[in-house]
Structure 1
Amino acid sequence: MAAQNWTRKASSAMTQQVVRVQPGSRLQEAGQWSTGLCECYKDVGDCCFALCCLPVFTCKVTSAVGACPCLPLLDCIGCVPPASLAMRASVRHRYGIQGSVWSDCLYGCCCYPLSWLQISRELKRRAASHASSSSPSSSSSARYTALASLQGAPLV
């Protein structure tokens, strides 16, 4: 009888989950991009930057991730932009976002600037949520600081 009682208490303790939400933040659905492809209005600074000089913007996003900043310059070769495809696939894989190589290819070919802006917003939001949940002395804080200061504008 005592063993059953202990088992019942242990199982009920394991099933209780506490979810804490910071004020002003929202829970993101698992496996989804934090913003839509056409939600450029959520980061007007980056939108203007990409509109004025898209090649520099893409190089800045790529270097903030730690890849070679010249990688997006390969996108002008061929029909399918390889850097855009690789960056979208990498971000999707890193954060567990649903999608496929085919959708990455479609967005890279048909919505090239919007795709890079979505990648930038995703990196900023993930960096902001990581920075708020980790200590400032963590070893990866420098990379996340670089991501957060991608544009230099405050994170929304």
Structure 2
Amino acid sequence: MAQARFFEHGLLGALCTPCLACSLARQLGESCCVVACVPGGVFALRTKLRMQQNIEGSICDDCLTLSCCCPFALCQMARELDNAEIGRL
């Protein structure tokens, strides 16, 4: 099951990055408009996830990571959310 989700995130991140970003926004309780219409919306989502999950890092790290390799960063965020969900069960 976990490998299927991992593959799904990777495939979605590679083929349709905006779709994965929208899915992450919904999982974090935000509208898809945050990533589609708001400049820097993806940066805000990553920062929100990092703060909720108590993940080390900074806003500068988030900006650099998303600017250099956005699809991979979004896949990482999706895995973090999946791991947090599994931990709650």
TM bin, normalised by shorter chain, reads 0.7 to 0.9
Higher relative contact order (CA 8 A, sep 6+): 2
- Paired residues for 1:34-113 under 5 Å: 43-74=6-37, 77=39, 82-113=40-71
More helix by share: 2
Q: What's the CA shift for 1:85?
A: 1.0
Instruction: Give CA deviations for 1:62-101 in whole Å, capped at 9, x if unaligned.
Output: 11211012211136x5xxxx12211111111111111011
Q: Which has the larger radius of gyration?
A: 1
Q: CA RMSD in A?
A: 1.6
SS at 1:111 equivalent: helix
Match of 1:128 among 78, 82, 86: 86
Q: How many equivalent residue pairs?
A: 85
- Paired residues for 1:113-152 under 5 Å: 113-130=71-88, 132=89
SS at 2:56 equivalent: coil
Amino acid in the other structure paired with 2:7: V
